């Protein structure tokens, strides 16, 4: 058995009941369960439709996300999340680079690395090298003035943790940011890279080992083993090429507002919903959400 979930943007909920009924009838689906009025609905399927991706492309033009997942094990016991452009709306290193006056150079490298066009470790070293001699105090300034949280993140964490899930933030960014973001949102742990700082300034070097794609997979394996969980019980979310390993390994890997080259390699894609979409995909109705 499978479940088909249809989602729209929470800020502009416009899910047409006629579209839902048309799909349900065409695919022989079960009764529609509205998870949020005009925003999210789900119905069961006995078989995976052979035209899933053709229909997906059509409804994308309407501002609708369509996701089909196994019905069994729908709710997950662990959340494994990327940080930059996933739990927050920015790339932290790009924001630091703006302050340092090298924003355009660093942003170009970041975009290519997240698209998978550059080696992640080499790209990280190059970007951090451009921040040499930047005052460590700029990190606090950027956190306070430039970082904003992705809508729905606090509700996602509050709801999953209320129901006993474990939450880990695993980033190719830096602990100077992940520790603050994890603390604010309620993650149980965070892993990321470290800046090397001497006399209050960044040296332009990165602490070793560098946390990239494989390290995120390793985190999934290590944490699930420690907690006695299976990879199938993990919901992972990210947007960049260095997230593909964990997205493929997790029971549900969600490409959230991902780069096209990344989304193309994932079966679960959310382009219009916010982070509460991850709750709808687990079968939560909006009335079941915890207060952030």
Whether the per-residue pLDDT at 292 is higher than 80: the answer is no
Q: Are 272 and 280 in contact (CB under 8 A)?
A: no
Q: Are 199 and 134 in contact (CB under 8 A)?
A: no
* Mean pLDDT within 197-217: 92
* Mean pLDDT within 34-49: 97
* Mean pLDDT within 191-213: 93
Only one residue has tokens 């909920």, namely 13
Residue 8 Rama label (left phi>0; alpha psi -120 to 50; beta): beta
Residues catalogued as catalytic: 82, 84
Rounded-to-10 torsion of CA 27, 41, 84, 230: -70
All domains in the chain, ordered by first residue: 1-72 (3.30.70), 76-292 (3.40.50.1000)
CA gap 41, 35 in Å, rounded: 5
Confidence (pLDDT) at 211 = 87
157-177 pLDDT, tens per residue?
A: 999 999 999 999 999 999 999
215-251 pLDDT, tens per residue?
A: 999 999 999 999 999 999 999 999 999 999 999 999 9
Confidence (pLDDT) at 220 = 98
Q: Are 75 and 245 in contact (CB under 8 A)?
A: no
CA gap 29, 43 in Å, rounded: 6
CA gap 113, 121 in Å, rounded: 9
CA gap 275, 235 in Å, rounded: 12
When pLDDT is cut at 50, 70 and 90, the band that residue 87 belongs to is: very high
What the block records as the tokens of 183 is: 């603390």
* Rounded (to 5) percent helix, strand, coil in the chain: 40, 25, 35
Q: Outline where 38-152 has alpha helix (H).
A: 52-60, 92-100, 103-114, 120-129, 137-145
Cα-only R_g, the chain: 20
When pLDDT is cut at 50, 70 and 90, the band that residue 212 belongs to is: confident
Q: 226-230, 261-265, 267-271: which has the minimum mean pLDDT?
A: 261-265
115-163 pLDDT, tens per residue?
A: 888 888 888 899 999 999 999 999 999 999 999 999 999 999 999 999 9
Confidence (pLDDT) at 103 = 87
DSSP state of 177: H
CA gap 22, 154 in Å, rounded: 34
């Amino acid at each position: 058995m499978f479940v088909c979930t249809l989602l729209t943007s929470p800020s502009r909920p416009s899910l047409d009941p006629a579209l839902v009924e048309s799909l349900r009838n065409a695919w022989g689906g079960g009764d529609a369960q509205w998870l949020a009025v005009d925003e999210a609905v789900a119905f069961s399927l006995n078989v995976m439709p052979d035209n899933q991706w053709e229909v997906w492309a059509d409804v994308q033009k309407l501002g609708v996300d369509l996701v089909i997942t196994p019905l069994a094990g729908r709710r997950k016991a662990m959340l494994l999340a990327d940080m930059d452009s996933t739990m927050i709306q920015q790339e932290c290193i790009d924001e630091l680079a703006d302050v340092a006056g090298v924003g355009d150079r660093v942003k170009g490298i970041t975009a290519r690395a997240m698209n998978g066009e550059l080696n992640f470790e080499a790209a990280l070293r190059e970007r951090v090298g451009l921040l040499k001699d930047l005052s460590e105090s700029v990190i606090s300034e950027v956190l306070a003035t430039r970082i904003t949280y992705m809508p729905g993140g606090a509700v996602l964490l509050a709801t999953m943790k209320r129901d006993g899930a474990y939450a880990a933030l695993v980033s190719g960014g830096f602990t100077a940011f992940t520790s603050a973001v994890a603390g604010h949102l309620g993650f149980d742990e965070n892993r990321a890279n470290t800046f090397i700082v001497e006399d209050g300034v960044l040296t332009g070097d990165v602490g070793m080992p560098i946390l990239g794609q494989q390290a995120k997979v390793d985190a999934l394996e290590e944490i699930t083993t420690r907690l006695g969980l299976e990879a199938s019980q993990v919901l992972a979310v990210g947007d960049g090429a260095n997230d593909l390993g964990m997205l493929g390994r997790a029971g549900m890997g969600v490409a959230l507002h991902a780069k096209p080259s990344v989304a193309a390699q994932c079966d679960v894609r959310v382009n219009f919903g916010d982070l509460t979409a991850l709750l709808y995909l687990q079968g939560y109705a909006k009335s079941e959400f915890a207060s952030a």
